[in-house]
Amino acid sequence: MVRRATASLDSPAAKVIAVLNAVAGRGTASVSSIATELAIPPPTIHRIANELERLGYLQREPGSRQLTVSEPLINLASSVLVAASSRAAVQVVLRKCSETIGEMCSLGVQVGDEVVYVASAEPQQDLMLSFRAGRKAPLFCTSSGRLFLARLSDEELQRYLEGSRRKAYTRYTQTRADRILADVRGVRQQGFAMANQEYMLHIVGAAVPVTTAEGKLIAALSVAALNVRVSLQRLREFIPELQRAAGELALSFTQTASRPPDADAFRPKRKLSPPPARRARR
């Protein structure tokens, strides 16, 4: 569908942000398709794309001229979500969800082949997991990670499985490509993911997607608990509350995104790095 030119695209900064948004929204896009969508002349899109490539925010798909996002832009998006997740409204939702469930709830985003947890809340208990923003975990063996894998096509997922290194963190870690593929297909069908001691021994977890109204995955909302306290069946009973909270989080992020864009926000940001190791986490 062709988007009509509007006053919001009259400035150079607005055009740059619109191009980034168009590529990120599609996953991959050609110069001509972006020009059609934004109703901007192809030569203008071409110049913007070349500059964004030079800065490292966009790159070309191997063997084609299709544009896609690159790691610096992914890190920037993660930083934006980290900042948004610190807002009081987001923390209130996480805290309410955690208190209702009685376990630690966390919000995670994908950065490369890892999940970066950007916010969390936990109730007061004698035995509780410890979490700090910025901690990372693999995609293939965590409930949050499998949500991000589930949004890939079978072809993309196969490429990921062929190129990824899958360490057995515990005796329960699923490393076989065929089993992971089956698990991810199950996540697509049921709309949530679960993990049973695959990343940390005695830690079970479940996650649901936080999506836009159009169905675009923004983040993963997860719960982690000790298996001596929460069975897998009990974990499934947490899903409706997680889904309710995910809807509130999506609304909060949508309201943040609706604010006027700031071109300065697209300056390169420092990559997230995990803090010193603390107590057990999922």
pLDDT value at 4 more than 60: no
- In angstroms, the CA 107 to CA 249 distance is 9
Cross-sheet strand order for the sheet of 193-196? 136-138, 114-121, 104-111, 217-226, 203-211, 193-196
Query: Percentage of the chain surpassing pLDDT 90?
Result: 45
Q: Which helix (H) or strand (E) holds 67?
A: strand 67-69
User: Over the stretch 96-106, which tens digit does the pLDDT of each residue have?
Assistant: 999 999 999 99
- Looking at residue 262, what is its pLDDT? 39
Which letter does DSSP use for residue 171 in this model? Answer: T
* Mean pLDDT calculated for residue range 136-141: 92
**The domain 73-266 belongs to what CATH superfamily?**
GAF domain (3.30.450.40)
Dihedral angle over CA of 109, 114, 118, 120, nearest 10: 100
Read off the pLDDT band of 129 (50, 70, 90): low
Read off the pLDDT band of 62 (50, 70, 90): confident
Query: Percentage of the chain surpassing pLDDT 70?
Result: 80
Both structure tokens of 247: 């809807």
* Mean pLDDT calculated for residue range 37-41: 91
- Looking at residue 132, what is its pLDDT? 52
- In angstroms, the CA 98 to CA 249 distance is 14
Q: Which has the minimum average pLDDT: 29-43, 65-79, 173-187, 254-268? A: 254-268
- In angstroms, the CA 158 to CA 237 distance is 31
Confidence (pTM): 0.67
3-state secondary structure 191-233: CCEEEECCCCCCEEEEEEEEECCCCCEEEEEEEEEECCCCCHH
Delimit the domains of the chain by residue range: 7-69, 73-266
- Looking at residue 266, what is its pLDDT? 31
Per the listing, tokens 């309710």 go with 244
- In angstroms, the CA 278 to CA 187 distance is 30
Q: Is 249 exposed, middle or buried (0-12, 13-18, 19+ CB in 10 A)?
A: buried
- Looking at residue 59, what is its pLDDT? 87
* Mean pLDDT calculated for residue range 199-210: 95
Positive or negative torsion for Cα 163, 168, 174, 179:
positive
b/e map 173-210, b = 16+ CB within 10 Å: bbeebeebeebbeebeeeebbbbebbbbeebbbbbbbb
What mean pLDDT value characterizes the chain?
82
- Looking at residue 81, what is its pLDDT? 65
| Fold adopted by 7-69 | Arc Repressor Mutant, subunit A (1.10.10)
- Looking at residue 78, what is its pLDDT? 66
